Every structure is written in C-alpha cells, then in structure tokens.
Amino acid sequence: MVVARPEWTPDSWQSKVALQQPNYRSAEALAAVVRELSSLPPLVTSWETIALKQQLADAARGQRFVLQGGDCAERFSDCSPSTITNKLKILLQMSLVLIHGCRKPVVRLGRFAGQYSKPRSDDLESRGNVTLPSYRGDNINQPGFTAAEREPDPQLLLRGYERAALTLNFIRSLVRGGFADLHHPEYWDLPFVHKSPLSAEYRAIVNRVTESLRFMENVLGVHPGEMQWVDFFTCHEALHLLYEQAQTQRVPHRTGFFNLSTHFPWIGMRTADPDGAHVEYFRGLSNPIGIKLGPSVTRDHLLRLLDILHPTDEPGRLTLIHRLGCDKITEHLPRLLDIVAGSGKRVAWICDPMHGNTRMTASGLKTRRFEEILGELEQAFDIHAVGGGSLAGVHFELTGEDVTECSGGASGVTEADLPANYRSEVDPRLNYEQALEVALLIARKMRADEKP
Ligand code: PEP
Ligand code: CO
C-alpha cells in the first residue's frame, strides 16, 4: 500500500523533532546567518551529484568500488595546503591500491569540504565542578573548555561554508592541474612512504598499475578515459539542518531539490529516526544519500527508512553504511541484508569498520584497534559474498598525517604510544601508514577472493 505523504519543502523538517541541534542564544542572529548562507553560490552542481548517483548505481551492481574517507571532524585549522594535499595523497594512494585489488574503477568520496558538525552522546560536558555545552564541531563552537569557546556562534556556519569552499577550490585545482594523474603517482608520495615497511608492496603495485596504463595506451592504443586521472566527490553528515536547508534549492532544467553544499549528504546513526526531522529533510533531496546503520536497527525501522527515503528504488539513490563492530557484524549484517533483499530494493552497501569499534583506554583516550577494524572489514566482504551480493565500498576515518590515535598495524603503534601525537577532538583516525596498510590488506583479500 502506498501511503500519501504530506508535501515536502526544504523546511518541512521544522515540524518534526530535530535531534543534535545547537541552542543558540539569539534566534535573530541565527536567522540572519541562514539568510546569508542561502544567498551564497553553491559548492557543487547538480550535474556532479547526478554523475555520482550513476557511479553509486554502478557500485551497487558490483561494477565500481567506493572509497569514502577523511576526518571524523574537519577542523577550520585543517584548511591549509599541506593538510589538504596530504589527505588527497593518502586517498589517492589507497585508491590506486584498491583499483589494483578489485580491478574496478574506484569512486572517491572525501569526508571533507564541510564535515564540520558532529553529533554528541551528551549535550553537556563536565570537568570537575564545571559543566559546559559539548563541543559539536567547528561549525558550532570551539573545543576549548571555557564558557566563551563552548557558546554556539552562528557566524561559525559562515566561516565553515567559506572554508569548505576554499578546500574544494584547492582540491579541484589540484585535480584539474594534473596532481591526480594516474601516470604520476610520485606526486602523491608522503614523506614517510620511504621509511614504511609497506613501501615495497606499495611500490610494486604502483609499478604494475603504471605499466598497465602504458601498455593500454602505447601498445593497444586505448585511452583508459576516466581511469587516467581521477576525481573526488565530497560528503558530510548533514546534521545541522538549518545549514543544510540554506543551500537546498531547485536548479534549472531539472525536477527536484538538491543540497548543493555537498555531493553526498548522509544521516548519522543518532539522527536516523523515521519520524524525526533529519529523515524528513532527506526525503525531498535529489542527491544520492547515505544512512549509517548500527546494531540496534530493527526490521521495522529499516523498512520504514527504505519506504520513506528510497520509495522509487532509483538506482544510486541510497547507500547503506553499516557500522556494526567487529564482534557484532556476524550477528547483525546477515539480518540487515535479508531485510533489504526482502524489500526488493537496490542499495549500495558500504562498510564503516570504525564506529562500531571505538573503545576507551584506561587513561581515558578514545581509540580503535587496527586488528578490529580489519576484522570487521574482512567479515563484511565474506558476509556480503555469502548473501550473493558484494560490498560496494569502505568508509574510514583517516588522515594523511602521522598521528597516533588508533593502535596496531605494521608500524606497531601501541596503546602507550597514543598520547605522543593524538590530535583528534572527536574520533580516532587511522594515520597515513595504517590507512595504506588497511588498503593493501583488503586489496590482497579482494584478489584472493576473486573467482578463478
Ligand atoms: C561519524 O561518521 O563520525 C559518526 C558520528 O558516525 P555514526 O553516525 O555512524 O556514529
Ligand atoms: Co566519527
């Protein structure tokens, strides 16, 4: 039975309960910022989002593989040339390794150019006898523990939008200028690549890919088209609904509304209530969208999300990002796959092996273990294969820097090493070497699993 839904408008979510929104002191100041945001040029175009939707439809059919990654929370201070290029470098290196592993084009979705708003488990944080609002990302307030820094400031939304534009402008220029040319992977070398125990394996893959490219071009006279240089799409958690609404608009010559602040907005696990404001907002978007699914998602919940957010089964429209945890994935993923198969709808499945594997050290640092991240991924590949489908992609929190936030991996970061260079204000990220290592290991697995 098809249930008629009330009319959707970019602000129809306002009649529902919106979780995880900051409390601003001045409604007028906030409204003025939202008006200004609405008047600024968009960051992306509808052509690009439609192109991404088509690529995600291919990924859902097993013809492409998605690499989604970046910081848990971007910081305004990350809007610097070296941080941006290092992030691109690691994503390019990983995608080269994955192309080699899965023999498919890789779609790169950067958690960047707008990943500035964070959901928090508690609205308030207490230290000693002082209680202040929690840090909710640079779009909202600042991490320092003073009343002034924790006060939500609507002007930050404008600063975030501007930084997203600056970040994207630099990324686009680098890509168009040849930085991402597959013929020149040496442009992506990071200073530590030579020291790493993984360096030889990475080099061998680089050589094989560049040789195959030359063979295709010189010997076969084939130009590998999109393979020769690669593109990036942007994504962020569309959490702050007034910010997202401000750039939600119609475009000429197309039907529907697009959120033009990013190609791929996703709904976080904490805001995926089918009756809540986030789901209402996402319902009317023409962008490809993602939903994070945790172990607590029930059959009824998932079916309602499919019904509301994926009513016409449009290819590429919906990506489900499961984040179940290394010790829970065998219990829950077959169940989720079953529910979706029973609905008859096509989705792209991505595994986020980060958010179900967060733990605290004895000294109170949030961390993740490399073995558990890899363990969840390996199980994800196997469970999808048993179900007769395939995993369409992977989702990581990572950085191109040499941080010590997750333990394990070939370079041997131990729990005792974590304080040495722990920089995240929110979730722990894979550092450059751990990110490259996880790509090498899953590429190996994909090759081994390949049917003869
Ligand atoms: C995140 O991706 O940073 C996040 C908060 O994820 P989840 O909604 O899956 O907890
Ligand atoms: Co996170």
User: Is residue 382 scored above 50 in pLDDT?
Assistant: yes
379 close to 329: Cβ distance less than 8 angstroms: yes
331 close to 307: Cβ distance less than 8 angstroms: no
Confidence at residue 256, expressed as pLDDT on a 0 to 100 scale:
97
**Phi/psi at 250 (5° precision):** -85, 155
pLDDT band for position 447 (cuts 50, 70, 90): very high
Confidence at residue 4, expressed as pLDDT on a 0 to 100 scale:
73
**Phi/psi at 240 (5° precision):** -85, 100
CA of 366: how far to CAs of 111, 189, 316, 354, 427, in Å? Answer: 20, 29, 34, 12, 7
User: Is residue 216 scored above 80 in pLDDT?
Assistant: no
CA of 303: how far to CAs of 163, 274, 341, 346, 384, in Å? Answer: 37, 10, 11, 13, 19
pLDDT, tens only, 128-174: 999 999 999 999 999 999 999 999 999 999 999 999 999 999 999 99
CA-CA distance, 305 to 18, in Å (whole number)? 16
Q: Identity (one letter) of the amino acid at 68?
A: Q
Nearest ligand 1 atom to alpha carbon 73:
3
Nearest ligand 1 atom to alpha carbon 427:
3
Distance 119 CA to ligand 1 centre (A): 8
pLDDT, tens only, 436-446: 999 999 999 99
Mean pLDDT of the chain: 94
Distance 355 CA to ligand 2 centre (A): 6
Nearest ligand 1 atom to alpha carbon 323:
9
- Ligand number with the minimum distance to the CA of 352: 1
- Ligand number with the minimum distance to the CA of 68: 1
- Ligand number with the minimum distance to the CA of 270: 1
Rounded average pLDDT over 36-55: 97
Nearest ligand 1 atom to alpha carbon 426:
3
Rounded average pLDDT over 254-267: 98
User: Is residue 220 scored above 70 in pLDDT?
Assistant: no
Residues contacting residue 321 through CB under 8 Å, at least 6 positions apart = 68, 266, 290, 291, 292, 293, 350, 351, 352, 395
Nearest ligand 1 atom to alpha carbon 111:
2
pLDDT, tens only, 106-125: 999 999 999 999 999 999 99
Nearest CA to ligand 1 atom 10: 269
Rounded average pLDDT over 91-107: 92
Residues having CB closer than 6 A to ligand 1 are 72, 119, 237, 268-270, 292, 323, 355, 427
Q: What percent of the chain has pLDDT over 70?
A: 95
Confidence at residue 224, expressed as pLDDT on a 0 to 100 scale:
56
Contacts 24+ apart (CB under 8 A), 411-414: 411/196, 411/197, 411/437
Residues with CB under 5 A from ligand 2 (ion): 72, 427
3-state SS string for 348-365: EEEECCCCCCCEECCCCC
Distance 78 CA to ligand 1 centre (A): 20
Confidence at residue 181, expressed as pLDDT on a 0 to 100 scale:
81
- H-only helix segments in 111-269: 147-150, 155-177, 199-214, 241-246
- Ligand number with the minimum distance to the CA of 237: 1
Nearest ligand 1 atom to alpha carbon 268:
8
Distance 406 CA to ligand 2 centre (A): 13
Confidence at residue 6, expressed as pLDDT on a 0 to 100 scale:
86
Rounded average pLDDT over 90-98: 93
pLDDT, tens only, 343-357: 999 999 999 999 999
Closest by CA to 235, choosing from 186, 164, 295, 180, is 164
Confidence at residue 227, expressed as pLDDT on a 0 to 100 scale:
44
pLDDT, tens only, 400-445: 999 999 999 988 899 999 999 999 999 999 999 999 999 999 999 9
For residue 219, what are its two tokens? 């010997």
- Positive or negative torsion for Cα 423, 425, 428, 432: negative
313 close to 344: Cβ distance less than 8 angstroms: yes
Distance 397 CA to ligand 2 centre (A): 7
**Cα 53 to chain centroid, rounded:** 15
Distance 73 CA to ligand 2 centre (A): 7
pLDDT, tens only, 191-203: 766 777 788 888 8
Q: What is the reported pTM? A: 0.96
Unique residue bearing structure tokens 């991924």 = 377
pLDDT, tens only, 22-42: 999 999 999 999 999 999 999
Distance 76 CA to ligand 2 centre (A): 17
User: Is residue 228 scored above 60 in pLDDT?
Assistant: no
151 close to 23: Cβ distance less than 8 angstroms: no
39 close to 271: Cβ distance less than 8 angstroms: no
**Phi/psi at 70 (5° precision):** 155, -165
CA angle 7, 13, 18 (to 5 degrees): 160
Q: What is the full DSSP assignment across 121-152? A: S-SEEEETTEEEEPP--TTT--SSSSHHHHS-
